[in-house]
Structure 1
Amino acid sequence: MTSEFELIRNHFVRPTPQAILGPGDDCALIAPALGMQLAITTDMLIAGTHFLPDTDPCQLGWKTLAVNLSDLAAMGARPRWALLAGSLPEVSEPWIAAFTDGLFACASYYGVDIIGGDTTRGPLAFCLTAIGEVPIGMALRRDQALLDDDLWVSGQPGLAALGLAHLQGRTVLAEPLLKPCLAALQRPLARVELGLELRRRGLAHAAIDVSDGLLADLGHILQGSAVAAELFVAQLPPLPTTADPVLARQCQLAGGDDYELVFSAAPEKRAEITALADHLALPLWRCGLVVGAAPGQLTLLDDQGRVVPINEKGYDHFG
């Protein structure tokens, strides 16, 4: 039988050129570059709550890291290191090998060293801590949105939730829509370069990643910044034409698992943000406006300026 330490050594230990000391001792040793501060985030992924138990392990390995890197992206931080703790119901070396293939593929794509972690026997779950660097005092935060700021969102939120609805049998998606929806759910792309450019170019005041739903996460910016906002349905990304429009809109507004970025920016930055979208080949949608000092108040408006009722904002683990 494979021991815990053989399991770690065989599957989870790779070179860590960005660390002073990587896996193998009681602690890893790292040091931020001169003039940088560390941005640190952690997330849990639990079978049955955050992913379906039969999820492909390679895709799951990718996603376990990517969802944490999305938090670093939202703060304009460059990912550098990560630690992974995992609970496994049994030792299946083919399953673990596929999981680590996905994990290290994501790490390689974003330039991250896996510098340590832990394994134990138990229900299938993972907890990953990601560490990045950002120039001192320059991190993008949730509490910096200003009156009259535009609100922007990247990509196409809602696809991941549509993919999940398909897997759960709540809808049936056909190609060519099915493939991008499943990719958004199972192999999300953290918008690291977008976050870096928003911070470098001084384009964004406040930012957050969309993990629990567009309305819910935008609400965190509004609450943190003590402002209100209007969100314009007609200026959101177009809904997929072959999906149920009611479900597609619900997924877009409250589905979650998107890992796109929502940010606020001054109106005079519109041309620069449009140019950045072209530079990154990533759609950026100007979809709202910060309108007043009513902390957390969000009004959804249709194309005629009429208020649209908000029945659901997003995912809440304890809601």
Structure 2
Amino acid sequence: MGEFDLIARYFTRPVRRNPLGVGDDCALLQPAPGMQLAVSTDLLVEGRHFLSTVDPERLGHKALAVNLSDLAACGAQPLAFTLSLSLPQVDERWLAGFARGLFALADTHACELVGGDTTRGPLCINITVFGEVPAGQALLRSGARAGDDLWVSGTLGDARLALEAFRGTVSLPQDVFEAARRRLEQPQPRVALGLALRGLATAAIDLSDGLAGDLGHVLRASRVGAAIEGTAAAGLFAAGRGGFRLPEAQVQDLVFAGGDDYELAFTAPAGRRAGVEAAAMRAGAPVTRIGRVRAEPGLVVVDAQGVARPVDPAGFDHFGGP
């Protein structure tokens, strides 16, 4: 099968929103009047971002999900995406599964494939996603203010727990492992929540590299600090809500430095708590208030006795270690 046959069979579909789709040199995107384009791109490399054993359908889902999560963090409505795919060989079974997972999520969010590229090489997936947001209403990292509440959607740490199980550093009951593995391989982008938070949240970010590291980006951009309630943060670890238990220090590490969660962390004035909770309910996304923004720089965790300890805000860095 040649390159163009591959594209035609697995990645060509009728385009409804845009005048040009797969098959032309460019896709033409026309945002509605009064809207701004929101654009994000992510590269997934085998062995770095995903294991060779991952189900291709889940991988197709995740490849788009991590980009949609960026749109969610900006409060943007998905429009379209491009796909560049490097393949070591043509594996039709793999391609069929990958395309199935990719398009299932794309259809859920009415996000259309409008172009891209394919080539032979190591397995790499690059997606650029386009969304739109009313001019001046995008959620940014720079809007947090002292006194704001700090919120997180969903749960944290489960994806990293699955990775540690794959690495053999922790042994998990089968049901815990399967639940954690799904969180690692098939994250659900919080698009509806991001849209619902427009006009409520003052700042937002998606959690790809760990709560401490990603929240650190917000704090630096907003020139503020934050205090997190340790008990509330520990409660974000879903695997700990059943009979499964880990040492407290390990739970803290999974929650603060785990990564691959693709939940939203956001800030909002304390007077908007009822509005935030109502927005989360409409979006079908549970949220937890875990702390507050403060004027003093830095990130601290406050334990049950009221003792604050600093947290290293350094998140995952692809060039920071082995």
Is 1:300 aligned to 2:301, yes or no? yes
**Which has the larger displacement, 62-71 or 242-251?**
242-251
Q: Which amino acid aligns with 1:90?
A: Q
Residue matched to 2:291: 288
Tell me how far apart the structure 1 counterparts of residues 205 and 35 of structure 2 sit (CA, whole Å).
21
Tell me how far apart the structure 1 counterparts of residues 195 and 313 of structure 2 sit (CA, whole Å).
31
8 Å CA contact 2:75–2:138 kept in 1: the answer is: yes
Offset of residue 163 of structure 1: 1.5
Offset of residue 312 of structure 1: 7.3
Q: Which amino acid aligns with 1:288?
A: G
User: Partner of 1:65: helix, strand, or coil?
Assistant: helix
- Give 2:268's match in structure 1, choosing from 241, 265, 270: 265
Residue matched to 1:244: 246
8 Å CA contact 2:77–2:195 kept in 1: the answer is: yes
Give deviations 1:167-212, integer Å, cap 9, x for gaps. Answer: 222212224422321111111100000000001xx11000000000
Is 1:127 aligned to 2:126, yes or no? yes
User: Partner of 1:141: helix, strand, or coil?
Assistant: coil
Number of residue pairs the alignment of both structures matches: 314
Tell me how far apart the structure 1 counterparts of residues 234 and 311 of structure 2 sit (CA, whole Å).
18
**Which has the larger displacement, 77-86 or 266-275?**
266-275
Tell me how far apart the structure 2 counterparts of residues 179 and 206 of structure 1 sit (CA, whole Å).
33
Residue matched to 2:176: 177
8 Å CA contact 1:39–1:134 kept in 2: the answer is: yes
Offset of residue 277 of structure 1: 3.0
Residue matched to 1:96: 95
Q: How does 1:58-73 map to 2 (within 5 A)?
A: 58-73=57-72
Q: Which amino acid aligns with 1:49?
A: R
Is 1:317 aligned to 2:321, yes or no? no
Tell me how far apart the structure 1 counterparts of residues 301 and 87 of structure 2 sit (CA, whole Å).
43
User: Unmatched 5+ residue regions in structure 2?
Assistant: none
8 Å CA contact 2:299–2:311 kept in 1: the answer is: no
8 Å CA contact 1:230–1:288 kept in 2: the answer is: yes
Residue matched to 1:57: 56
Tell me how far apart the structure 1 counterparts of residues 87 and 276 of structure 2 sit (CA, whole Å).
44
Using structure 2 for the length normalisation, give the TM-score. Answer: 0.94
Q: How does 1:193-208 map to 2 (within 5 A)?
A: 193-199=192-198, 202-208=199-205
8 Å CA contact 1:214–1:313 kept in 2: the answer is: no
Is 1:230 aligned to 2:233, yes or no? no
Give deviations 1:206-237, integer Å, cap 9, x for gaps. Answer: 00000000010000000000111111111225
8 Å CA contact 2:106–2:112 kept in 1: the answer is: yes
Tell me how far apart the structure 2 counterparts of residues 274 and 89 of structure 1 sit (CA, whole Å).
47
User: Unmatched 5+ residue regions in structure 1?
Assistant: none
Tell me how far apart the structure 1 counterparts of residues 273 and 174 of structure 2 sit (CA, whole Å).
35
Tell me how far apart the structure 2 counterparts of residues 131 and 273 of structure 1 sit (CA, whole Å).
26
Q: 1:311 to 1:206 in 2, by over 3 A?
A: closer
8 Å CA contact 1:162–1:248 kept in 2: the answer is: no
User: Partner of 2:58: helix, strand, or coil?
Assistant: helix
Tell me how far apart the structure 2 counterparts of residues 275 and 188 of structure 1 sit (CA, whole Å).
23
Give deviations 1:75-108, integer Å, cap 9, x for gaps. Answer: 0000110001011111111111111111111101
Cα RMSD after superposing both structures: 1.4
Residue matched to 1:146: 145
8 Å CA contact 2:196–2:283 kept in 1: the answer is: no
Q: Which amino acid aligns with 1:290?
A: V
User: Partner of 2:197: helix, strand, or coil?
Assistant: helix
Tell me how far apart the structure 1 counterparts of residues 284 and 96 of structure 2 sit (CA, whole Å).
33
Tell me how far apart the structure 2 counterparts of residues 237 and 131 of structure 1 sit (CA, whole Å).
35
Tell me how far apart the structure 2 counterparts of residues 9 and 248 of structure 1 sit (CA, whole Å).
46
Q: How does 1:36-47 map to 2 (within 5 A)?
A: 36-47=35-46
Q: Which amino acid aligns with 1:207?
A: A
User: Partner of 1:236: helix, strand, or coil?
Assistant: helix
Tell me how far apart the structure 1 counterparts of residues 280 and 196 of structure 2 sit (CA, whole Å).
10
- Give 2:212's match in structure 1, choosing from 212, 215, 219: 215
Question: Identity across aligned pairs (percent)?
Answer: 48
8 Å CA contact 1:151–1:289 kept in 2: the answer is: yes
Tell me how far apart the structure 2 counterparts of residues 278 and 95 of structure 1 sit (CA, whole Å).
37
